[in-house]
Amino acid sequence: MFDLTRYSSPVVVRSWGSLLAAALMIFVACTPSSPPPAAETPEVMATGAEKGDPIPWFEGTVEEAFALAKQERKPVFLYWGAVWCPPCHVLRTKLFTRPDFQARLAATVPVYLDGDTERAQIWGEKLHTLGYPTVIIFDADGNEVTRIESALPYEEYAAALTRALEVDRPFAELLAAARDGGAAALTPAELGLLASHAWGQDETSGLDRAARQALFARLREETPAAQRDVKARFLALELEALSETGKGAAGAKLSAKQRAALLAALDELLADPALRRANLDLLLYRAPGVIALLTPEAGAERTALAGRWEAAARAVEEDASLPTTDRLSALWPQLALAAPDGEDAAVPAALQKRVRERIRWASGFEHGEEETQALLNTMAGLLERAGLAGEAKELLTAHLAEALAPYYYTSWLAGLEAREGNPAAAVALYRQAWQGARERSSGAAMTPFRWGSSYLQQLMKLTPEAQTELAADARIVLGDLLASPDAFSHGNWARLQSLAGALTEWQGSDPGRTGVVDAIRAQVAARCGELPATGDDSAAARCRGLFAPAAS
């Protein structure tokens, strides 16, 4: 059980930009592709089941799972997660532990693909996964039916899964029908499925922001009144798409009539407990953008809307039907509205006090490793966003050993040290996080490289003179990765590109650094000839082009 009563007065040192970047790293896929034939994809063990996992995950390769599904005419429930990922553990503890949910999965072939295990990034690239957790439902023939939004409460999530198992059209066909014929071209179950689809984790829909917004607006207007939960979901999706341009930039595109209609629908959502619970992603994380969108001018109307939003957030705090993480997260919109400019605006002392009180409340329960991994993320993030970075550091330091993946939080501590102007301490912690990830990776490359590449980049940024350490540790970090068959796939490839760019920038025109970077380039080049070379974008081609000058 956490004990936060010892925390002292706040230390107002924080960076909202860095917190947002961390959130994006963890979260945090129209023509969804079917799983490729086994001949084109190296075998990847599907199971990533953890000790005591209540779900009977398929034991075998991803290819074997899809083959079994086709043979038995069952859909595939594919969960893409990672041991270190806090939102994954929210999903696992609030959903996967429920016997009624487990009973629903009996009608599927459930597949747990840990994205940090060997070869998993090859599949991640083919499935177009964008973050953890991602849940994808395939039909028995391997066609993607939907990606379920993980922020849904249990009741909505269960309903989405039920719809996915009932609908007999792939997502690509549903989307095409919706675009051509609107709500009238879809059954109620199909409309509901589009409303609960994880659009933010789907990069293959072929719809840009404007096209998505137009589709959501049409479906919101045309969905029958009897499906008020579905209408509310389309409203939330529409508002999110409109506000993605930031701070009301899209507001000028809305007429007074449009704003009034959206405001009326939003007020209904904010006032209704069931609609609030079904749209937590909107309520908790979109307040400033949506409020600026619908009330473009500062004044009484904007103040009133912000007050209604804060009241809805406070109601979520008190909603005992929600998990602790969701109830704590109801502080996010309150903080965002109290200090919309992040570090440039001080959070009121009364709200800081409220953050402390709610964290003490959440700490009063016994938490297992999975819950701790998720809760620490929410607690430390709230403290930092409230301008209490010193208390966030105390929290993480005190409970590091209780987390399922402590290296995740060691890296967070490193970032706090860096922002306090302690580069040596920060680099030491970044290195400790890498070492911790390496020790717990069971030989897989993705986890140690995720933290190792971050450590190397911070080493160059914070202590650019540390050439000896960079040369020695880069050889180990890259050596671990380059031995993996998916070294040049998906997340590994993205991080390799980022690291290569950082190394080139660090080298600059300094001849003293050339030898270090040349040795790293040679280490990579030695691997290129051993990689598959079929196709223009093969692993070998990516390898050879890693340090190539950008085309002009």
Query: What's the gap between Cα 371 and its chain centre?
Result: 17
Average pLDDT over residues 200-212: 88
Within 13 Å, how many C-alpha atoms sit on residue 72's CB side? 13
Q: Using the 8-state DSSP alphabet, how is residue 388 labeled?
A: -
Which tops the pLDDT comparison, 417 or 445?
417
Residue 236 has pLDDT above 50, yes or no: yes
The residue-averaged pLDDT of 142-153 equals: 92
Q: Where are the alpha helices (DSSP H) in 228-272?
A: 228-243, 256-271
pLDDT band at 1 (very low <50, low <70, confident <90, very high): very low
Average pLDDT over residues 419-441: 96
356 Cβ contact partners less than 8 Å away, ≥ 6 residues apart: 4, 7, 388, 391
Using DSSP's 3-state secondary structure scheme, residue 27 falls into coil
Higher pLDDT, 455 or 116: 455
Pairing of strands 134-138, 109-114: unpaired
Domain positions in the chain: 31-206, 208-322, 405-552
Counting Cα atoms < 13 Å in the Cβ hemisphere of 134 gives 25
Predicted confidence at residue 17, as pLDDT, reads 32
Expressed in angstroms, the distance from the first to the final Cα of the chain is: 57
What pLDDT does residue 37 have? 32
Highest mean pLDDT among 39-53, 145-159, 375-389: 375-389
pLDDT level of residue 50 (50, 70, 90 thresholds)? low
Residue 21, pLDDT score: 35
Rounded Cα distance, 212 and 216, in Å: 6
Percentage of the chain surpassing pLDDT 70? 88
Top pLDDT among 44 and 25 is at: 44
Say if CB 183 and CB 223 are below 8 A apart.
yes
Q: How far apart are CA 429 and CA 449, in angstroms?
A: 16
DSSP 78: E
Mean pLDDT of the residues in the chain = 87
| Res. 355: pLDDT tops 50 | yes
- What is the rounded average pLDDT of the residues 328-353? 88
Q: Which of 49, 98, 47, 108 is nearest to 77 (CA)?
A: 108
pLDDT recorded at residue 43: 60
- pLDDT of 342 reads 60
Name the band, by pLDDT with cuts 50, 70 and 90, for residue 431: very high
Question: Which has more pLDDT, 456 or 97?
Answer: 456
Which amino acid type is present at position 260? A
For residue 24, the model assigns a pLDDT of 31
Output the pLDDT for position 47: 57
pLDDT of 58 over the 60 cut? yes
Nearest to 241 by CA among 287, 199, 270, 180: 199
* 339-359 exposure pattern, b = at least 16 Cβ within 10 A, e = fewer: bbebbeeebeeebbebbbebb
Is a pLDDT exceeding 70 seen at residue 48? no
Write the pLDDT tens digit of every residue in 4-43: 333 322 222 222 233 333 333 333 323 333 333 333 445 6
Residues 6+ apart with CB under 8 A from 70: 140, 141, 142
Inform me whether the pLDDT recorded for 181 exceeds 50. yes
Q: What is the pLDDT of residue 29?
A: 29
Average pLDDT of 407-431?
Answer: 97
Counting Cβ atoms within 10 Å, is residue 30 exposed (0-12), middle (13-18) or buried (19+)? middle
Asked if pLDDT for residue 371 goes beyond 50, the answer is: yes
Record: fold of 31-206: Glutaredoxin (3.40.30)
265 exposed, middle or buried (CB, 10 Å; 0-12, 13-18, 19+)?
A: buried
Whether 314 has a pLDDT exceeding 90, the answer reads: yes
Give residue 45's pLDDT: 58
Q: Would you state the pLDDT for residue 203?
A: 83
* Confidence band, pLDDT 50/70/90 cuts, at residue 129: very high
289-317 average pLDDT score: 96
Q: What is the pLDDT of residue 39?
A: 33
pLDDT (0 to 100) of residue 253: 76
239: left (phi over 0), alpha (psi -120 to 50) or beta: alpha
CA distance 419 to 426: 9
- CB neighbour list of residue 240: distance below 8 Å, 6 or more residues apart: 281, 282, 286, 290
Taking residues 65-82, report their average pLDDT.
Answer: 96
Q: Higher confidence at residue 17 or residue 286?
A: 286
Share of the chain above pLDDT 90, in %: 73
Q: pLDDT band at residue 49, thresholds of 50, 70 and 90?
A: low
Mean pLDDT, rounded, for 433-462: 93
Q: Is the pLDDT of residue 363 over 80?
A: yes
